[in-house]
Structures are given as C-alpha cells and as structure tokens.
Structure 1
Amino acid sequence: MDMLGGLTASEFLREYWQKKPLVIRQAFPGFQCPVSPDELAGLACEEAVESRIIIEDDAGKPWQLHNGPFTPERFSELPEQDWTLLVQGLDHWVPDISELLEQFRFIPNWRLDDIMASYAPKGGSVGPHYDMYDVFLLQAQGHRRWTFGGQCDHTSPRVDGTPLRILSSWEGEETVTLEPGDMLYLPPGIGHYGIAEDDCITLSVGFRAPTIDDLLTGYTDYLCNQDGAAEHLDDPDLEVQDNPGTITSEVIDRLDRVIREQINDRRKLALWFGQFTTAPKSLDIVVPADEPATPEDFAEAIQAGEQLRWNEGSRFAYHELDNETALFVDGEQYLLKGDARPFAPLLCAGAHINMAELSEFSDDEALLGLLTTLYNQGSVYFE
C-alpha cells in the first residue's frame, strides 16, 4: 500500500503494528487539509464538539489544560505561540475527514476510535508524553518536528503541577520533521514529543483497545441484565456445620459453577462485545432523521441509484454465529438468518455501501425494514 510506504497491510501488521514506530514519507502525496485553523476554532466553540486548549506556560504554570466549548474571544486572548488546540472526533463533523478512515480499513472497525485534529502556531505542543493506543499522525498543514522512542508506562517520571501526563526526564531516540502528506505510526506506550515549526495541523487517527477493567465491568453489567440474573443462589443440600462461621468448599464450588455457567457462554460474550464496541462515541451526531422514511421510500431510492453511506459518527461490525449472523450498528444488534446473512458483511465493508450488491436484497421486506430502521435512527443516510 502506498499509504504504508510500499508495505502491504500484512507486512505492516506483522512488522510494525504494536511493535515499533514507522515514518512514512508522503503517505498521502499532495495532501491538502480539508479544514482550516479558523474552522477548527469554530468547531471548538460548539457545545457538541469535544475540544481542549493546552498552554505550555500558563501564567507560570506548566502545561495547563482548558476544556471547551470556547467563546470566539478566547482565541484572541491566547499568546502568539506555544499553545495547541485539540478537536476530538473531527471525522464525526467533517465528511472529508471521515473519508480518510477508508484508507485504514485493514484494521478492524471495532478498533477504530476517531480522528483528532491538533492545531498549533509556532512552538505549540502538548508536551512529551505517551498514549496507550495505536495512532497514525498525519501531517495535514505546516511542519511539525517529532522526537520519539523509548517505552513508557505509569512508572515513568512526570512533570508536577499539570493535569496532563507530561514526561519529565525522557529523551527520544529519533527526530524527524513531517511536512504535509507525511505520516508517523506510533504503537502504545512509545514516548513522543511534537513541536510545531510553523502554523500546523496534525490529524491523529487513533485506534482503541479496551482495558481489562472495561471488559470485566462491561460484560458483567451486561450479564446482570440477562434473563435469570435475578434468581437467588440455592442450597437444597445444606448440612449442619461444626462451626457456623465456616464458608465450606462446597459453597465455593457452587459459586464457581454458577459464575462459569455465565461467563463461558460464547454467544452472550460475542453479542455483548459487538454492542459494546459499536456504541457511538458521540450521541450528538447519530440522531434520528428529520423526515422518517418508509420501506417503500427506501426501495425507490435504491432503484433510483442513490448512494447510501454510514453516518460519520456511526460504527458497524458483525460476527458469524453458528446458524446466524449478528449485525451490530451503534450499540444495537440485529440477528440475520439464511439468505439474509450476507447482508451484514455488505453493510460493514466500508462507509460507502455497494449499491449494486445492496439492490439484490431490495425485494426482501425484512431487510428493507432493517435498512429503514437504520436510516430513521440516523445510522445511514443517502448522499
């Protein structure tokens, strides 16, 4: 793939993914940023958009964080340099930014987080730090000098007096300057420090991995809402004990069986994980359609050749079960059987749905109903 510097997707995953950094010169040749600094500032003033400003020296305090939304006047109060504006989930709000994600579909949909924009005037930075997720840093405008290298974790020394995770005694192993179209891949835990050499915008394509805590709490919460969770632990074979304070091994064995019966259900685990990983990050963008459609409307639009695509903030995934396919869209599950099963991979292959293949399902009333549901809840729309 040209985007990976001539590496195939398999070579990149095998040699670099979660292993070591990679600098890719002109991953996107001639790249022009779809958004301007003023447009990013405008987005940062919106209530629904997650934004932050980081100032390196804020009245003598190091690396201070300010959360949006901001007023337009806030930007006129900022110093000339040494600050950064971060706009999270830019792909949710700017379709041209969302299109970039189609270049990264060699990584599963459920791993994707979002695209964050970082604007900074000369000297702007968020400080030397590390993240616990994979990220591709695409230089979109201007130039940024990156120093990176060395594995970091929670034991790495940090700067005091800042809410940010700024490394205090870190030295990188390599320094490069990226220009528009260049890209840097960083695995989790790698220290990095990017400084703007002029007015610059960097787009961070981030990929998430849930923590063990996320998995345990999320799945057990899901199990607690399943049928049978309200049943009480029984002990019809209870016997008199020598000491009433003893918790016998038989009790622990019973608990072990009850818990294993719940957590060893792969079907439940798959259905929960699909819903968990496709839950939309922003509830402000996956909103119901202004004018609800009917299945008949949908059939007409498909026959007319209109292009259907995902909402920029929606998430799609699927899982093959024994006799059915589970489709997951924005935290909801839909079980497909028989001839309808290929419908799920078709919808999940990319943001722009293959309309020629979709038309083959247009005579199926149930699938038209499902498409209509997805449209009316805001998960898909016609371009």
Structure 2
Amino acid sequence: MTVEFTLARLLQPLTVETFLQKVWGITHYHVERDREDYFGSLFDPAAVEDVLEIVRPEPSTVTVVRENDRRSPDSYRFADGTIDLVRIRNDFADGHTIVINGVERHVPTVASLAHSLEVELNFETQVNAYITPPGSRGFLPHYDDHDVLVLQVQGSKTWHVHDDADVPPHKMRRREKVVVSDLPAPAVLRLNAGDALYLPRGRVHAATANAEPSIHLTVGIHAPTVLKLVTEALEALSYRDDRVLAQLPPRHVDDVGVRASLDDLLRDVARAIEDPAVMAEGFGALGDALVRRGRCRPVGQLVPNAVEAPRIDGRTRVVRYQPLYSRVLMMTDGVALQFAQSLVSADADHRAAMLFLSRSTEPFEVRDLPELSEAKQIELARTLVVDGFLVRL
C-alpha cells in the first residue's frame, strides 16, 4: 500500500493547526516516534543509490563536507563533467557527509511530499538528503535562513539546538557567521529513525551521527518575505504606471538637493502600494510562481488519458489529482483554471464550475459541475482528464 506523505503525517500526533499556531516560527519541536520504518516508503538507502548511480546528478548539486572541510565539486567531477562516485564514496569512508540537494527532482515520493507542503502552506520547498557516516558531523553550528523540517530516515543523530541564540533576519540577510564561543548551552535531542524535528529560521544547530550511518532529509520551507511581496507588487505596477519607471536625475547620488526633488514622486509611489488592488497583484504574482511549480500526472499517463476521455459522460466519477496547487483567474473574455504548466480557458459561464474544481478534494460525478449544461460539463471534464487535472475513477 502506497503511503501519501503530507504535513499532517509528518507531524503526527501533533496536529497541523497546533503546529501553525503554537510552533511555526516560534520554537523548535521534536516529534518522537517508536517507528523506525515510518519514512521507509518516502526515502531509503536504495533511493540514495538510485539517485547517485542511475540519475547521476550534476556534481554541483552534491556536497561532500565534514565540518570546515568542504570538498570542491571539481574534486569529484570527471573530465566530461559527470560525477565521480568512487571519490565520493572514499570521502564518505573518511568521515565526510554526502549532501544531495533537490532530491524532489529525482524521487517521485519526495516530489509528492514537497508539492503537498506547497499546496498546504503556499510556500516553496526544497528537499535535501544527508548521508553521514558513524560518529561524524557534517556541519559546525550554523543556521538556515528558512524554516526546516528534519526527517530521520535511518540511523540516529544527536542534535544540539541553541534556543537563545536565534539570528535575526537582517543578520541572516548579511550572512553573518555564527560565533561558536558566544553560543549558550544547547538543548540536546536524539533523533531516531522515524522522528521529525522542526527548526525555525535563524535557529543555530548542529548534528552528529551516532554509532551507525545516518540518513535524514531536510525539507526546506521557503516562506516569501514582505520584501518579496512589495517587490512583486511594484513589478506588477510598473506595467501600467510610469512613475515606478521614472529615471533618477543626474547627480542623484551626490547632490542632496537633487535627491530632495524626488520626495513627492516617492511618496506617490508609496501611496500607490497601499492600494489593495496593487497588493492583490503582488499576491497574484506569488501565486503564479507557486502554481507553476505544480506537477500533474506522469507523462506516461497521457495516452491512457486520451483513450479514456471520449468515454466520459455525466455519470462518470472523477477526482482532482492531488497534490496540485491551482487557482481560478478572471480573464477579459472569460475565466481560466491555472495549474502546473497549464491554463484551461473557458467562457464566463464556467466560473462556478472552475471554482468548484479548484476547491474540490473528494470524488464527484461530471454532472455535479455547477451551472453548466450537460454538454459543457462533459467537454470540460474530458479536457481536464487529458491535461491530468482530473483522474477518472
């Protein structure tokens, strides 16, 4: 039986709502389980071998590190640019941690988890795998500029988490280094296989493998900042408001009087940002980036989908493919359902049906699509089955 990994499954028995209200961005949290096989169907040693041996990722996506000793990618790159696995394995035997970045690009189960989190939280994610030899530590105490969920897949690690040493965002942006001698005493946690650990951004931490090799995944959760939102809003505004694209005058850096002449213009632009419609465009740009990261059914389903689509009628049961982030856009000439790399457009009378589809999570019959004639219901369902948005039951 295939297990679908979601945020709820990662956090059990902690509920998602409790996590978001009392843990997220506030404190670290250790989910302890007596289940060594809990993440076995998500990622395992065989998956590590598959990625390294079969996928053969670009050397730049693989890091080999032990504390301050970080190998250059050129040291494990053949002349043709491919990865030298013998050298990587030798470094691992010598105590180095192997880091495979972006494993969601190579392992379908991890890809499904990553996108499930993106749908749930509206944040982009990236999943890295860490393979550490016994008794070794890959990194000295450090912090991440994004929130992290650590999933211990195999073996165990001892984590040192410094509660009272969080690095503020402006220092993270400056990439300030951690002064180890200034750190307070840490909380010491042992993550066993099946455990999970949440770390808010800026929390200083380090981890050491115990008596056996360790494999863990870090799910990097990249929440956009207010800076990103305002930047996107200004970018959207620039397509219709020339004030945003006004050129700065000569000597604006050196002449205080010249700079002062821009005060009225800058105040006008700042007031424009306060317009809810402008901020809505900023949110829309963030949503567009998120929806384009979506993944539909595998390409191999295209032919079966095309065969099944003509057999659809009003009583056909379908379900929306999940996880998949989607949204409904109002267009000048109608409405559109946007998902993954697709945009399915229709007349304005399809609005209620499109909203129904975007929000649906349970199976339904084609005839349940609201405010459409039977012919239009069937036509829309056929299109979305072929495009992978709907799955025929």
Whether 1:206 and 2:220 are equivalent positions in the alignment is yes
Output aligned runs, 1:68-147, within 5 Å. Answer: 70-101=83-114, 107-108=120-121, 110-122=122-134, 123-147=136-160
Relative to structure 1, is the Cα distance of residues 355 and 38 closer, same or farther in structure 2, using a 3 angstrom cutoff? same
Correspondence for 2:13: 6
Say which structure is richer in helix: 2
Distance 1:173 1:370 in 2: 52
SS of equivalent to 1:70? coil
Correspondence for 2:24: 17
Relative to structure 1, is the Cα distance of residues 17 and 35 closer, same or farther in structure 2, using a 3 angstrom cutoff? same
Unpaired runs of at least 5, structure 2 = 1-7, 247-255, 370-375
Correspondence for 2:235: 221
Relative to structure 1, is the Cα distance of residues 104 and 250 closer, same or farther in structure 2, using a 3 angstrom cutoff? closer
The question of whether the paired residues in 1 share the 8 Å contact of 2:366 and 2:381 is answered with no
Farther off after superposition, 354-363 or 80-89: 354-363
Deviation per CA, 1:45-86: give whole Å up to 9, x if none.
224x962223226xxxx2325448622233244152432222
Deviation per CA, 1:197-241: give whole Å up to 9, x if none.
2211101122111244433444433433x35659997xxxxxxxx
Give aligned-pair identity as a percent: 18
Correspondence for 1:318: 327
Deviation per CA, 1:88-123: give whole Å up to 9, x if none.
232332222334458758942x21413221111121
Whether 1:56 and 2:62 are equivalent positions in the alignment is no
Correspondence for 2:57: 46
Whether 1:356 and 2:360 are equivalent positions in the alignment is no
Relative to structure 1, is the Cα distance of residues 219 and 28 closer, same or farther in structure 2, using a 3 angstrom cutoff? farther
Whether 1:26 and 2:26 are equivalent positions in the alignment is no
Equivalent position amino acid for 1:41 in 2: L
Distance 1:263 1:157 in 2: 28
Give the TM-score, by structure 1 length.
Answer: 0.69
Distance 2:209 2:221 in 1: 23
Unpaired runs of at least 5, structure 1 = 234-244
Correspondence for 1:273: 286
Relative to structure 1, is the Cα distance of residues 86 and 166 closer, same or farther in structure 2, using a 3 angstrom cutoff? farther
The question of whether the paired residues in 1 share the 8 Å contact of 2:117 and 2:125 is answered with no
Give the TM-score, by structure 2 length.
Answer: 0.68
Relative to structure 1, is the Cα distance of residues 205 and 223 closer, same or farther in structure 2, using a 3 angstrom cutoff? same
Equivalent position amino acid for 1:71 in 2: D
Distance 1:6 1:253 in 2: 55
How many aligned residue pairs are there?
Answer: 348
Equivalent position amino acid for 2:69 in 1: W
Equivalent position amino acid for 2:52 in 1: A
Distance 2:150 2:244 in 1: 50
Output aligned runs, 1:221-370, within 5 Å. Answer: 221-224=235-238, 226-227=239-240, 252-253=263-264, 256-257=267-268, 260-261=271-272, 264=275, 265-280=278-293, 289=299, 297=307, 299-300=309-310, 309=321, 316-318=325-327, 327-330=337-340, 340-341=351-352, 343-344=354-355, 346-347=357-358, 354-356=362-364, 360-361=368-369, 363-366=377-380, 368-369=382-383
**Counterpart pick for 1:35 among 24, 40, 44:** 44
The question of whether the paired residues in 1 share the 8 Å contact of 2:243 and 2:265 is answered with no
Farther off after superposition, 185-194 or 213-222: 213-222
The question of whether the paired residues in 1 share the 8 Å contact of 2:153 and 2:215 is answered with yes
Distance 2:356 2:219 in 1: 24
The question of whether the paired residues in 2 share the 8 Å contact of 1:129 and 1:167 is answered with no
Deviation at 1:133, TM superposition (A): 1.7
Deviation at 1:184, TM superposition (A): 0.9
Relative to structure 1, is the Cα distance of residues 326 and 259 closer, same or farther in structure 2, using a 3 angstrom cutoff? farther
Correspondence for 1:174: 187
The question of whether the paired residues in 1 share the 8 Å contact of 2:297 and 2:321 is answered with no
Farther off after superposition, 186-195 or 28-37: 28-37
The question of whether the paired residues in 1 share the 8 Å contact of 2:63 and 2:98 is answered with yes
Equivalent position amino acid for 1:64 in 2: R
SS of equivalent to 1:132? coil
The question of whether the paired residues in 2 share the 8 Å contact of 1:45 and 1:71 is answered with no
Distance 1:231 1:201 in 2: 49
Relative to structure 1, is the Cα distance of residues 35 and 335 closer, same or farther in structure 2, using a 3 angstrom cutoff? same
Relative to structure 1, is the Cα distance of residues 214 and 129 closer, same or farther in structure 2, using a 3 angstrom cutoff? same
Deviation at 1:24, TM superposition (A): 0.8
Equivalent position amino acid for 1:26 in 2: R
Distance 2:354 2:62 in 1: 40
